[in-house]
Copies of this chain bind each other. A is one copy, B any other.
Amino acid sequence: MAAWEKNVRKTIPYTPGEQPDRPNMIKLNTNENPYPPAPGVTKALQELDADRLRRYPDPAARVLVQALADYYGVTNQQVFVGVGSDDVLAMSFLTFFNSEKPILFPDITYSFYDVWAELFRIPYERPPLDSEFKIRTKDYLRECGGIVIPNPNAPTGIEKNLAELEEMIAGNPEVIVIIDEAYIDFGGTSALSLLPKYENLLVVQTFSKSRSLAGMRIGYAIGNERLIGYLNEAKYSFNSYTMNGAALAAGTEAIKDDAYFRETLQKIINTREWTKQELHRLGFSFLDSKSNFIFASHPKCPAEELFQALKQADIYVRFFNKPRINNYLRISIGTEQEMGALIRFLEHYLGENL
């Protein structure tokens, strides 16, 4: 080890899903939307004035913040935007989790939470999900440094009902409770309605899934004005200009086209429910997903074997080689055609190999 290495912050980074890019592959491994972004997004990008790019973008990202504020019926001062919800969550951890008490999040959940906690040296504990992979409310009614609950949870897809979430938020007035709603638009009930009652609540959402803009990196948080003020001050202490001109234009157009948004959501939800029926028919067991993925296990065929077999057929799903969940596959919901191909492959494979 060189002398200079002793002061380096050593981290164990998050491992994103593979991003293969092969013609005709079926990519169901990173919960992307199978439909393109709203038509207005294409138009806005084509009309982007390259000359304008020599100037810094608006550091307050007002056009996008305003579109979000209008859409959700909150004030501009209640909205924070960042480079994907990962950026928003990372800044929130840095800003709000400075207690010496541990923050709490489930043992099985988005695997970035413990990475951020390690990066920022935030103590944390991970109350285990129950035997049905559900979050137990009582585990979160205790002294702590903060709480992060993904709702629906990933990779399980299970939604926690609003009354139980409210119990956690009301029970922890001294700390910030972050509800990470990356997948809420696919049929869940948002905690946004609780904002007027609880000033310790921060709701985080993203354009990456329901708005088909994973490639543009846009996430946001909504909370009370004081909370968002602190988050903005931390952002202005890290990077004043996070949202580039293209992201501002694309995000704003995506929010404005609500009809397109609802139409694609409904298609995905319909395909998800069809896929559930088919998986059931093939003998899979799975949890009741309210997200754009299904977390499924087959009683006779190990998940890792299926994962590899699917990959050979250029169908990519996600397999987590981790305790408790290493016999499950997380399957993103693609188009009807893609899910049809997946089901046909599984039917054939299970028929031949069982």
Contacts and interface: CB of A to CB of B under 8 A. Distances in A.
Interface of A: 2-16, 19, 27, 30, 32-37, 41-42, 45-46, 48, 50-59, 83-84, 86-87, 90, 94-99, 115-116, 118-119, 145-146, 173-176, 199-200, 208, 212-217, 226, 230, 232-247, 250
Total identical chains = 2
Given A50-B37, A53-B37, A53-B212, A237 B115 contact: yes
25 contacts: A2-B199, A4-B200, A5-B226, A11-B237, A12-B233, A12-B237, A13-B232, A14-B237, A30-B56, A34-B54, A36-B51, A41-B50, A48-B246, A54-B212, A55-B214, A56-B215, A57-B214, A57-B217, A83-B239, A84-B241, A86-B240, A90-B238, A216-B245, A244-B246, A246-B246
A233 B245 CA distance: 27
Q: Decide if the interface of chain A is mainly helix, strand, loop or mixed.
A: loop
Given A53-B37, A173-B4, A240 B16 contact: yes
B7 A119 contact: no
B19 A41 contact: no
Contact of A86 (B6, B14, B99, B239): B239
Nearest to A44: B50
The 8 A-B pairs of least Cβ separation, nearest first, read A13-B236, A246-B246, A53-B215, A42-B50, A54-B212, A36-B51, A3-B174, A11-B237
B216 A244 contact: yes
Contact of A58 (B19, B33, B58, B246): B19
Given A53-B214, A58-B19, A145-B7, A45 B48 contact: yes
A246 B200 contact: no
